[in-house]
A = this chain, B = another copy of it.
């Protein structure tokens, strides 16, 4: 024990904890689809690097059926995940927000660009909201308490609410910028 793995390792272990063995490629897809809303979706290269390491630590095991190597959690992996969940200190969220960063420098732009910046962001929000909503509806039917996707559903709802609120903030900012309040 005492492995000191980065968080990304546990994110992948977490994806594997839902049962199905997955290949690196599939893991990347899952990450792109769901994990990316709450955590970064690791790069392809990163996924395979992690898999090698996790395998080296005996936390996952290749289940060899076809040409593609799918991995599943070992008992040690499940234990490592449990320990991580219960003992590792939790940091505060980190947000990399390109729009906020630019708005901070709004004084350097002409008003029209600022306006467009925010309007474009509204569009992007709409799109991401739709993508997450699709994920959310795909969980319907397994989202009741004690069902497999209970917690993923809760997190998805959280994300949806987050997007919706950000929309109202942006609209508010647009209003304030227009009538200089």
Contacts and interface: CB of A to CB of B under 8 A. Distances in A.
Interface string A66-97: 00000000000000011001100011111111
Interface in A114-155: 117, 120-121, 124, 128, 144-145, 148, 150-152, 154-155
Size class of the A contact interface (CB-based, 8 Å): 35 or more
Given A81-B105, A85-B105, A95-B94, A100 B161 contact: no
Interface stretch (A48-56, A57-65, A169-177): A169-177
B38 A104 contact: yes
A169 B173 contact: no
A38 B100 contact: yes
A14 B104 contact: yes
Contact of A101 (B39, B128, B169, B172): B39
A107 interface: yes
A104 B37 CA distance: 11
A113 interface: yes
A154 B117 CA distance: 14
A180 to B, nearest CB: 4
A47 to B, nearest CB: 16
Contacts of A154: 103, 106, 173, 176-177
Contacts of A162: 165-166, 169
A98 B106 contact: no
5 contacts: A38-B100, A86-B109, A107-B150, A154-B173, A154-B176
